[in-house]
Structures are given as C-alpha cells and as structure tokens.
Amino acid sequence: MMDHRTLSGFSRDKSIRARDIDRAVVKRVLRYVAPYRTALIGFLISVIGGAIAVAFPPLLLKSLLDNAVPHHNRTMVAWIALGAVGLAFGNAILSLVQRWYSSKIGEGLIYDLRVQLFDHVQRMPIAFFTRSQLGALQSRMNNDVIGAQQAVTSTLGTVVSNVIGVAVTLVIMARLDWRITLLTLIVLPAFIYPARRIGPTLAKITREGMQLNAEMNNLTVERFNVAGALVAKLFGRPEDDRHNFSSRAARVRDIGVRSAMYSRVLFVVLGFVAAAGTATVYWIGGDLAISGALSQGTVAALVLLVAQIYQPLAQLTNSRVDILTTLVSFERVFEVLDFPAAITDRPGAVTLEQPRGEITFDHVWFRHPDAATVSLPSLEGAAAGAAPPVDSEQWILRDVDFVVAPGETIALVGPSGAGKTTTAMLIARIHEVVQGRVMIDDFDVRDVTLDSLHAAIGLVPQDPHLFHDTIRNNMQYARPGATDDEITAALRDAQILDLVESLPSGFDTIVGERGYRMSGGEKQRLAIARLLLKDPAIVILDEATSHLDSESELQVQHALTRALEGRTAIVIAHRLSTIVSADRILVVDDGRIVEEGTHDRLLARNGTYAELYRTQYRSQTAGPIGETA
C-alpha cells in the first residue's frame, strides 16, 4: 500500500508543483532531431492520416442505422461493410509506415546520443573515472538514451495523433449536433487539473528511479567483473552483498510502485471524468432521439465519437506528464555531455612529431582539482558521499625541477604517497600541472595535441589492463593495422612469443576480462609487447615488477631491457635491480625532489635514499636489468 504521507508530501512540494517544461531542453532536442526532418515529416503525415481515419467508422455506423437498414438497402450495407474493411486496411498501412519512420528516427537518435556520449566520456580525465560509478555511466548510455528517443517517437507521435484526432472528432460531432458537442467540452477542466497536480511529481519520481537503477547497476558491475567477484569470494560475504543488493533493489521496487500508483490514480480520475461525459451523451442524446430531434444513427455515432474524443483528451492532458518524464532522460544525457573535460587540446595546439624524448620539469607544482571540476555528483552515487573529500588545497608536488636527456633512464624512488606516480602521469597530461611547466623536447605538453602526446608515450603499469579480446586485437590496440609479423617481433622481444605460439588458438586466444586467463608475468610481458609494437619515444614503468615472483620477474626484466633500448624512461620501482641500473635516481619525498644521483653516490651521501635502501632494498641482490633481484 502506498504511504499517504508520501503522497501528501509530494503534493505540498512547491518546487515540484512549479516545475515546467524547459524550453531550452526542447530546443536542444529539436537540434538532434533536425537531421531526421524528412523521416519526421513522413512520420507525422502517417500519424495524422491514422488519426483522421479512426474518426470515420462512427459515420459508417450512422449511415448503416439511418439509411441502409431502414430502407432495406442491401447494396448500401455491402458498400458500408466494404468501406469498413477499406478503413481497416488503410489504418494497417499507415501503422506500418508510421512504425518504419518512428524506428528510423528512434534508432538514429539512440545511435547519435550513444556515440556522442561515448566519445565525450572517454575524453574525460582520469579523475572523472576515479570518482564516477561505472554502473551510473552505463545507465546514462543505455536506459537514458532509450528514454530520450521515446520522447521524440512515442510521445511526439501520441501528442500529434491526439491533437488531430480531437480536432477531427470535434468537427464531425459539431456537424452532427452542436449542443451535445458543447456538453462534452464542459468536463474539459476536470481533465486538466489532475494532470497539472500529478505530472511534475511523476517527473521527479522518474528521475529518482533512474538514479536508483544506476546505483543498482553499479553494484552488479562491481560484483560481476572478475576482480570484484574474486574479492567477494575470498572475503566470503555473500549474505552482506545480497543484503546490499536487496536493499537497493527494494528501493527501485518501491519507487516503481509509487510511479505506478501515481499513473494509475491519474488514469482512474481521467477515466471517471470521461465516463461522466459519456453518460451525459447517453442521457441527452437518448432524450433527443426519443423526442425525434435526433436519429438513432446520429446518437450511436455520437456515443462512439465521444468515446474517441475523451481518450485522446485524457492522453493530451497527460501529455505534459509524458513530456516531463521523457525530457528527464534528455536532461540526464545532456548533464554528462555538458560537463566539460578538464584536460583538452588548447587552441592552436601543435603536433608533436618525431620526439627526441627530452623531458623537462620546470618548477612544477600540482594539487588535485576540486571535485566539482572533474566529476558529476549524480555519477558518484551514494558511496561517494561516504568517501572523504580530496583536499584540493594540499600540494602533491612542490617545485619539482629536473631534466631527463633523450635516451636516459631515470628512477623515481621514495616512500608511498610521495608523488612518484603523479610526477610520471604529468608527462602524459593524465593530470594537469597547476604551476610551472612540463616539457617534451622544446614543447610545453599543454601546447601539443593530446593524440600526438600520447602517441609519444608508452606505459607499463603494475597491473596492466588487457581487454576481453584476442591477443591479436589487444596488440593492435597499440598500433591498428599492425601485421602478424610485426606482432610476432614484438612478442619475441617481450619474451612471450613461445608461450603465445604454444596456445591452441595462438594470436586468436581470448585473454579473458582484464587478462585474468593469463598469469601476472604473462600479462606484464604482453603489456610490454604492446608497448614495443607502439614504439614510443618515452616509456613510463610504474612498478612493473613489484608483485612478481623471481622467475616471472626475470622474464619481465629481460623484456624490459629491450623495451628501454634507445628510449627515454621514467621508472617507478620497488625492485633494487631496476633502480641501480638507472642512469640517475631521483628521490621524491613529500612532493619534492630531495636527492639526485647514482646508486653509489646516494648511498655515500647517507641521506633519504640511504635510509630507504637500509629499510626496503638491503635484502635484495642488486644487478642490472636482465638479472634477478
């Protein structure tokens, strides 16, 4: 049973009652529809034709009762029957035409919105994805996009059909008897009032339901991917997960009940008003027929016509509700499309061609941007409110200043949270500097195009991501169109060709979601092979061997030796073997470069690096890249 306190609370909400159709949103929707204007015209013509056609069967009935039957004219009866069949056939054809055009427009809109959303979202900075829930994004891409196209095809078609249907029906009724026609219009205000009261509330409930569905979708996405499923099984909390999902699904259920009840209340009220109007026609029309002022056929036609006018009137009165609720989908889509990407190409950005690989940090300062500049609250979900906010006033990097020569390998070391990964990510503009400059060769990275910048940089992270696809397609993601010979060479250099060739499907082996069908070392070597195929001038290794066993690390280190040849490298490592073979070591602490030099010189200085060596690295056996650690 629906809580009466909920109903009364909504009815007292002035913000809901005052909600109106946003004309700016409507104008924007029309711009999306503009490419389909020809199909839209065909759609509207078929809708109008169908609306006109349904008004004529009552006239056939009038002619049957007033002319054919009283005069025993069987020929006229046959023609009337043939006319009824013809009208039915015409309606069927118009219905097929209408469906063709509506599907063409609707599916076209879905395609346009999805592609635009996908393109816009993938250009967002990493901070956007770290705060946004995947399920919420998928809900915008799927549910909201479909709801948006319904606003054009379903709602628009219904409104136009009903307007034409009401107009044609009223004209016919007026010609039959103007007095009864006026009586049927007396109840019109009773149609308008319920819709104006309930409509905005339904729109709000629709938006709330979409948000709740997005939260539920996000939970399933997190639990049903390989990593989430593994955590859930290892920690053994199926009952807690079930309860969490059950509570969210219950909220979706409850709001679905509320929405259904509001819709049904509106339908019942309008149905009762329509019944009262129809009863009036029975009463007055019947009385006029008894007195001889109207024929029986006219009364029968008016009864059918008044039934046809009240249904479109009810739907027209409810059209404001339909428009408000369907526009919610457009608003949610536009909310994402209108959210600006924090990191984009500057006007006049140049292409970085044949980079030498020199990297310059010129007094760089960095701190995380405010959440409002990188994320939408509606995409963060309920869990976002429980997370502590990022202190955007806290500097992550402070006056970082160094130069990396082309082909030089630099190791970044320091305690956890010191700013090592942030330093590396600034090179590729994964984050944006706040003060100072990061330069590649002679260009500020903000003055070159993102595409050319990313083409010059390769990354092997601690946990590389492989797509749920074949080995060949994962490799070709780095270089589309790469030949099998080129892929083979990259796999050979990454020390994994023998393994790939031993697989039954070879290059066509599916690696599984995130590459979980491969071991850690195999994933790392595939990631290195992908980097080699890309052939970047700059390589970033973010703790690429920190969690591997000795045998896997040996194989990965051999692959890294090939990956670093002739390239500028920024290496973030916990393994001493990678650190000591670097040309220089930069020690990062509290966002600053506190020491710089080779392994031996830094040990001799007996400073921060020497302390890190004593606490973290001393148990490791040092050796050049390619030897065990």
User: Out of 151-160, 373-382, 564-573, which region has the weakest mean confidence (pLDDT)?
Assistant: 373-382
Question: Considering the domain boundaries, does residue 351 fall inside one?
Answer: no
pLDDT digits (tens, 9 = 90+) for 332-350: 888 888 888 888 899 999 9
Please count the structural domains in the chain: 2
**In degrees to the nearest 10, what's the CA dihedral of 170, 174, 178, 182?**
10
Among residues 277, 303, 337, which one ends one of the domains? 337
Biggest CA–CA distance in the chain, Å, is: 122
Question: Considering the domain boundaries, does residue 68 fall inside one?
Answer: yes
Q: What is the CATH number of the domain that holds 416?
A: 3.40.50.300
Q: What is the 3-state secondary structure (H, E, C) of 101-137?
A: HHHHHHHHHHHHHHHHHHHHHHCCCHHHHHHCCHHHH
Residue 284 has pLDDT above 50, yes or no: yes
Same domain as 426, residue 317: no
pLDDT digits (tens, 9 = 90+) for 50-97: 888 888 888 888 888 888 888 888 899 999 899 889 988 998 999 899
Same domain as 241, residue 149: yes
Contact 514, 466 (CB under 8 A): yes
Angle formed at CA 572 by CA 571 and CA 575, multiple of 5 degrees: 100
Distance (Å, rounded) from C-alpha 141 to C-alpha 411?
41
Q: Identify which has the larger pLDDT, 335 or 373.
A: 335
Q: What is the CATH number of the domain that holds 158?
A: 1.20.1560.10
pLDDT at 262: 80
Angle formed at CA 592 by CA 125 and CA 445, multiple of 5 degrees: 40
Same domain as 329, residue 412: no
Same domain as 40, residue 178: yes
Question: Considering the domain boundaries, does residue 467 fall inside one?
Answer: yes
pLDDT at 619: 55
Contact 585, 599 (CB under 8 A): yes
Distance (Å, rounded) from C-alpha 314 to C-alpha 317?
5
Beta strands 538-542; 568-572: pairing state: parallel
Same domain as 424, residue 305: no
Residue 622 has pLDDT above 60, yes or no: no
3-class DSSP state for residue 599?
helix
Same domain as 465, residue 317: no
Beta strands 538-542; 409-413: pairing state: unpaired
Same domain as 302, residue 420: no
Same domain as 455, residue 333: no
Per the DSSP assignment, residues forming a β-bridge with 470 are: 510
Strand order in the sheet with 584-589: 457-460, 538-542, 568-572, 409-413, 584-589, 592-597
Same domain as 152, residue 257: yes
Distance (Å, rounded) from C-alpha 239 to C-alpha 224?
15
Residue with tokens 């001038």: 537
pLDDT at 592: 93
Among residues 308, 337, 366, which one ends one of the domains? 337
Same domain as 411, residue 268: no
Q: What percent of the chain has pLDDT over 70?
A: 84
Residue 538 has pLDDT above 90, yes or no: yes
Same domain as 150, residue 296: yes
pLDDT digits (tens, 9 = 90+) for 391-445: 456 899 999 999 999 999 999 998 888 899 899 999 999 889 999 999 999 899 9
Residue of 272, 271, 294 lying closest to 283 (CA atoms): 294
Angle formed at CA 277 by CA 276 and CA 280, multiple of 5 degrees: 90
Question: Considering the domain boundaries, does residue 592 fall inside one?
Answer: yes
Determine the structural domain holding residue 245 and report its residue range.
4-337
Among residues 289, 313, 337, which one ends one of the domains? 337
Same domain as 326, residue 409: no
DSSP assignments along 298-362, one per residue: HHHHHHHHHHHHHHHHHHHHHHHHHHHHHHHHHHHHHHHHTSPPSS-PPTTPBP--S----EEEE
Q: Which residues of 253-278 are buried (b: 16+ CB within 10 A; e: fewer)?
A: eebeebbeebbeebeebbeebbeebb
Q: What integer best gives the mean pLDDT of the chain? A: 80
pLDDT digits (tens, 9 = 90+) for 180-198: 888 877 776 776 677 667 7
Question: Considering the domain boundaries, does residue 162 fall inside one?
Answer: yes
Question: Considering the domain boundaries, does residue 557 fall inside one?
Answer: yes
Residue with tokens 């816009």: 120
Residue 515 has pLDDT above 70, yes or no: no
Inter-CA distances, 308 with 260, 275, 562, Å: 25, 12, 79
Question: Considering the domain boundaries, does residue 439 fall inside one?
Answer: no
Question: Considering the domain boundaries, does residue 61 fall inside one?
Answer: yes
